[in-house]
């Protein structure tokens, strides 16, 4: 091989590596955020560490969102202008945003104000499940036709957040004001159990093996761990401050817990059932999303309009990403 060809190939290789590190996306996706205060859906270039677009929702306002499995669309329920259980407008629709076109391309009309909030895709059937808390239901939507095709009762007021088991058979809602968790049979569309937690609870997530559900007691700084085999509280883990959004790491060893009042994130060792460490983040952390490659935990920080990118290898904040006003919901578009 000639010296000229070797130099050419070497230069090309350096160019390709440089391009991958500067403009590429090793985890193969895009972070999408709900900017409540701006009434926009933000698109974040995670490698550049900045929000590259803010798409108007056309409604007031989306708190949560989810991307379609193909990564082309984002579904954002328009909740209203208040917090759960508080007076204000009652949202009645969900908007569909095309990420390539960066605009709203469809809507679901629930027919009346129901405060739609947390959307989740059924992993087995591809249907979209959305909490419609004023109706005390989960609405089931065909994401292609954007038609409501059924409902699942929750049996409780303020069913705000939803988690779905990896096989798609079970749903779990955090019912804020009643302070309970509803266990749902999604196939037969019925309530299986209602689990008392406290006078007020927030958020819900599942362990990687679906054996535990996690919610946060808002009356005392405790993480509540539910045994999904018995539908009973398994244990309560003391936290340095009241918890909020949670997400389990991909190896199943840890649970990342937002603590808004402390401006910290707790990392709970799920084998020992105790806090292993805490991490300082900007004001009012809300929600956690673990990147599909498992290497980064993204934490939306409401009052600071930032997203903290935490390395799961050393549990340090690797990057602070500016987002929109009162950023909350996080989604990953593959």
Classify residue 274: in a domain, yes or no. Answer: yes
- Domain presence at residue 257: yes
What was the pLDDT predicted at 27? 55
From residue 77, give the alpha-carbon distance in Å to each of 9, 74, 96.
50, 10, 9
The reply to whether 12 falls in a domain is no
Instruction: Output the pLDDT for position 47.
Output: 85
Is there a domain that residue 1 lies in? no
Tell me the mean pLDDT in the region 16-37.
Answer: 62
Q: DSSP of 68-114, one letter per residue? A: -TTSSEEEEEE--SS-TTSSS----EEEEEETTTTEEEEEEE-SS--
Helices (H) and strands (E) in the chain, counts: 1, 28
What pLDDT sits at residue 21? Answer: 30
Give how far the C-alpha of residue 246 lies from the chain's centroid of Cα atoms, to the nearest Å: 9
> Is 3 a residue whose pLDDT tops 60?
no
Where residue 94 sits, what CATH number does that domain have? 2.130.10.10
Checking if the pLDDT of 26 tops 70, the result is no
pLDDT confidence of residue 257: 98
- pLDDT tens for residues 71-100? 999 999 999 999 999 999 999 999 999 999
Q: Lowest mean pLDDT: which of 12-16, 59-63, 232-236? A: 12-16
The share of the chain scoring above pLDDT 70, in percent, equals 92
Q: Is residue 18 a part of any domain in this protein?
A: no
pLDDT number for residue 35: 98
State how many domains the chain has. 1
- How far CA 186 is from CA of 220, 225, 312, in Å, comes to 31, 21, 33
Residue range 164-192: mean pLDDT, rounded: 98
So what's the pLDDT on residue 231? 98
Q: In this structure, is residue 241 part of a structural domain?
A: yes
262 is a domain residue: yes
Q: Can you give the residue range of the structural domain that contains 113?
A: 28-333
Specify the pLDDT at position 279. 98
Can you tell me the mean pLDDT for 257-286?
98
Contacts of 157 by beta carbon, 8 Å cutoff, 6+ apart? 133, 136, 175, 177, 178
Q: Is the pLDDT of residue 283 over 80?
A: yes
Distance between CA 99 and CA 119 in Å, rounded?
Answer: 17
10 within some domain: no
Answer whether residue 5 shows pLDDT above 80: no
* Single pTM value for the model: 0.91
* Model confidence band, residue 28 (pLDDT cutoffs 50, 70, 90): confident
Question: pLDDT of 303-328, one tens digit each?
Answer: 999 999 999 999 999 999 999 999 99
Instruction: Give the chain's mean pLDDT.
Output: 92
The residue with tokens 């949670």 is 246
């Amino acid at each position: 091989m000639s010296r000229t060809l070797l130099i050419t190939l070497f230069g090309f290789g350096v160019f390709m590596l440089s391009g991958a590190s500067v403009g590429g996306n090793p985890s193969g996706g895009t972070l999408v955020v709900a900017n409540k205060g701006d009434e926009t859906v933000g698109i974040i270039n995670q490698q550049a560490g900045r929000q590259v677009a803010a798409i108007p929702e056309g409604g007031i306002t989306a708190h949560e969102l989810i991307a379609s499995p193909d990564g082309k669309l984002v579904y954002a329920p328009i909740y209203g202008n208040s917090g759960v259980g508080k007076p204000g407008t009652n949202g009645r629709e969900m908007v569909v945003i095309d990420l390539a076109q960066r605009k709203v391309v469809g809507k679901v009309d629930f027919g009346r104000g129901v405060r739609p909030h947390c959307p989740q895709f059924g992993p087995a059937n591809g249907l979209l499940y959305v909490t419609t808390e004023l109706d005390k239901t989960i609405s089931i939507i065909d994401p292609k036709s954007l038609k409501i095709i059924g409902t699942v009762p929750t049996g409780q007021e303020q069913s705000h957040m939803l988690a779905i088991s990896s096989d798609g058979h079970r749903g779990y809602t955090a019912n804020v004001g009643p302070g309970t968790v509803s266990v749902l049979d999604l196939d037969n569309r019925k309530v299986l159990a209602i689990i008392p937690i406290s006078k007020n609870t927030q958020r819900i997530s599942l362990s990687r093996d679906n054996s535990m559900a996690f919610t946060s007691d808002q009356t005392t700084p405790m993480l509540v761990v539910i045994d999904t085999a018995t539908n009973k509280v398994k244990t309560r883990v003391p936290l340095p401050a009241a918890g909020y959004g949670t997400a389990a790491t991909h190896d199943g060893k840890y649970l990342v817990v937002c603590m808004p009042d402390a401006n910290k994130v707790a990392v709970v060792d799920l084998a020992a059932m105790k806090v292993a460490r805490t991490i300082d983040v900007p004001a009012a952390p809300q929600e956690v999303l673990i990147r599909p490659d498992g290497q980064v935990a993204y934490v939306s920080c409401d009052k600071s309009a930032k997203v903290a990118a935490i390395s799961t290898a050393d549990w340090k904040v690797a990057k602070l990403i500016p987002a929109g006003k009162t950023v909350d919901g996080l989604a990953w578009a593959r």
